[in-house]
Structure 1
């Protein structure tokens, strides 16, 4: 990883939200998108997790745990715990790596 320009984890969260915001209207149901638009300020979240094996199978590429993360974006429940995952976005921490795959709720 020496010599690579990496996103910090906070920057990666912001990057994931930017991607989500750009693509959500075209990829979520009208109901999910409307609910997100109405409630994201109070209940929106992003969690970064290590990508599971299903991503390797889907993109047919090995992933490095230090470089690749799955951003889960959604709405929390009333208790503050994640309630509804609207998108799972696979990203690289490397700023110049264009890796980005998304799986959307309901697709």
Structure 2
């Protein structure tokens, strides 16, 4: 892994947000997209987590926990409500790896 050029975790978060911003209007319901547009400055978030088994099943390959992350992008809940996950995006930390798959809320 030392020969690979890797995104830092902060860069990976920025990369995930860029992908989300580019694709959200086409993949979210009008209501979810409007809610995101209205509240993203105060409540928008991205969390990086280790991908769970459903990604490996969908990709039909094993994922390396040190190279692959799931970015969960959404809005934090208000007044004790649960967070809203709008998209789950599977990414590689390797800068020149084109791996990118998304699962959108409501799809």
Which interval holds the TM-score relative to the shorter structure? over 0.9
Q: Counterpart of 1:83?
A: 83
Q: CA deviation at 1:3?
A: 0.7
Q: Counterpart of 2:23?
A: 23
Counterpart-to-counterpart distance in 1, 2:101 and 2:13? 15
TM-score by length of 2: 0.96
Relative distance call for 1:12 and 1:82 in structure 2 (3 A) is: farther
Runs of 4+ in structure 1 over 4 Å off: 79-82
Gaps of 5+ in 1: none
Counterpart-to-counterpart distance in 2, 1:12 and 1:80? 29
1:37 paired to 2:37 = yes
Q: Is the contact between residue 75 and residue 82 of structure 1 (CA under 8 Å) also seen in structure 2?
A: no
Q: CA deviation at 1:78?
A: 2.1
Q: Secondary structure at the match of 2:32?
A: helix
Aligned-residue RMSD, C-alpha: 1.3
Counterpart-to-counterpart distance in 2, 1:13 and 1:79? 26
Relative distance call for 1:60 and 1:36 in structure 2 (3 A) is: same
Counterpart-to-counterpart distance in 1, 2:27 and 2:98? 20
Q: Counterpart of 1:95?
A: 95
Q: Counterpart of 1:65?
A: 65
Gaps of 5+ in 2: none
Q: Counterpart of 1:12?
A: 12
TM-score by length of 1: 0.96
